[in-house]
Structure 1
């Protein structure tokens, strides 16, 4: 937007705290894009130091420093896994390695006036590694992982959900962290969906503005199992979209080898790979764990083929039931 138009909007929004800050953020963003970093930092400090004016009940809340502002809506997750615990496609491995290298050279990239990718969208069916990948990615970056608690974030009171989202984005802008939105479609559902009420449409509008203007200190990561339900305008707001598909045959083989690497076996699980096609990692994990538990319960030193086959049968039964419920 032309600078003159932004200045007009800034003056017109005087006295309306939220609108004023939104336009000021746009001006700062324009200066950053022009590589006027000194001016942008100075404007940012002035904006952050400015006192907030009282707002009307439906307006977004004034900025409140973390943890008071966002503590009710996020949970710190201590990493318990590392990169040896996940199986990714070769394409996704390349993408994440590139993201890590880009982040580590972020200052060099920005000095050339180029943007650093920091907003990621994970898409794919349940149980295919999106949440686990976010945890491991944060560990590789050396950053804390905060998971957004959507049940608390989405408020039944008019205007509060957008206020809560704003607090989270302000936290992400200031704190070097990986902020993870699971089940992102609950927030970013398509606005033309006839079943959605006006409040959620307003939340999506606010969300689009927040994602557009934020430059997080770390990474903003959103994950969804229902990418077809996302508002069409959401997609271009993310720097990278990463797809997590059910594992292929070779990935299933690697996963089985990983799960049974410290377990004594009386059979070769690789012989049953064909029976596991189409299963997610979460389903495969349940099968392996159940087979191992059967040997522990029976006080046997080895996992038998029958243990594995029974576990597969149980997972098939579970799948059939779940399919009926969702049909």
Structure 2
């Protein structure tokens, strides 16, 4: 959109906070894509400062009007974390840095006749950072994050689920954003699965067509804990598949240091790295939070090693119970 038209829309939207911010974000995005980083950073700081002073909106609203009722199936989420709150593998840091650079130089890449990666599949066990990374990724891009409500998307009426899926893809085609489909396996389950009925197989057929055709203005991100359940044809529809694994020793040590960064301790939390092998980030965070709460409850100014050991013991007990439940379900 021409700069003059954007400026006219910006002035016309004064007093309507969501619309005003959306147009301001488009102007900032244009400056980032032109590599005017200093100006873009200054504009973003000014916009964020103004937003902090203004009262928050009472209800979420679409940033750009669109014809379909996609708002029945998507919800805007404000990222609450920054890149300093996450620990990623070196490979994933390189991948995400490349994706951000591609997005900012998208016009140059397309003028060279090359594709820009915009459809991402996140795979890995629960608690390893897929959802958190999506929030931080959207924040780094300066794009609004919309989360698909999978439970509402899947309808009990024949034919409606495919129609609902079409609506969210139409939304992503028009709205520059990060559109996040968590628990993607609920939609893209293998058509060879004999336990699934014909309706869900038709949904997968439609889904494959929609992913093939969409050229999002931002990113389509799908995440699953059950990659082995996905239909084989799904994989090649995504520009990038990113794996989130449980942390190794180095990543666990970094994560512990991060969690106790502003907390006074009577011991070195990173000395317990060995006892946390095989734990997910979510499990380690739960241990850290529980240890810190023990000190708060007893009105102590520092976390003791015993607090941490008790929290680890609680997590072992929790894991043992979870394992028994899974065994019963199997």
Same fold (TM over 0.5): yes
Using the TM superposition, give the Cα deviation of residue 270 of structure 1 relative to its aligned residue in structure 2, in angstroms. Answer: 1.4
**In structure 2, how many angstroms separate the alpha carbons of the residues matched to 1:93 and 1:300?**
37
Does the Cα contact within 8 Å between 2:246 and 2:278 map onto a contact in 1?
yes
Q: Distance in 1 between matches of 2:186 and 2:323?
A: 22
Q: Distance in 2 between matches of 1:187 and 1:316?
A: 33
Residue 160 (structure 1) shift: 0.5
Q: Distance in 2 between matches of 1:219 and 1:290?
A: 36
Alpha-carbon distance in 1 for matches of 2:114, 2:268 = 51
Structure 2 partner of 1:285: 285
Q: Aligned to 2:125, what secondary structure does the other structure show?
A: coil
Which structure 2 segments of 5+ residues have no match?
A: 1-64
Task: State the Cα distance separating 1:324 from its structure 2 match.
Answer: 1.0
Q: Partner residue of 2:216?
A: 216
Distance of 1:99 and 1:301 partners within structure 2: 43
Alpha-carbon separation, structure 2, partners of 1:115 and 1:157: 37
For residues 17-59 of structure 1, what are the alpha-carbon distances to aligned partners after superposition, in whole Å with 9 as ceiling and x for unaligned?
xxxxxxxxxxxxxxxxxxxxxxxxxxxxxxxxxxxxxxxxxxx
Spell out the pairing of 1:135-150 with structure 2 (5 A cutoff). Answer: 135-150=135-150
Match in the other structure for 2:309? 309
Judged with a 3 Å threshold, the aligned counterparts in structure 2 of structure 1 residues 85 and 194 are, in CA distance, closer, same or farther, namely same
Q: Where does 1:1-327 land on structure 2 (aligned, <5 Å)?
A: 66=66, 69-327=69-327
Unaligned runs of 5+ in 1: 1-64
State how far apart, in whole Å, the 2-side matches of 1:310 and 1:79 are.
Answer: 32
- Name the count of aligned residue pairs: 263
CA-atom RMSD, angstroms?
Answer: 0.8
**Which stretch shifts more, 253-262 or 67-76?**
67-76
The offset of 1:67, in angstroms, is: 6.9
Aligned partner of 2:42 in structure 1 is: none
Instruction: Give the direction of change, closer, same or farther, for the CA distance of 1:299–1:67 in structure 2 (3 Å limit).
Output: farther
Cα shift readout 1:283-316 (whole Å, capped 9, x = no counterpart): 0000000000000000111100010000000111
1:68: Cα distance to partner? 5.0
Take 1:323 and 1:72, find their aligned partners in 2: how far apart are those partners?
A: 36
In 1, Cα distance between equivalents of 2:181 and 2:251: 26
Aligned residues of 2:145 and 2:180 also touching (Cα < 8 A): yes
TM-aligned CA deviation for residue 66 of structure 1: 3.0
TM-score (norm 1): 0.80
The alpha-carbon deviation at position 268 of structure 1 amounts to 1.0
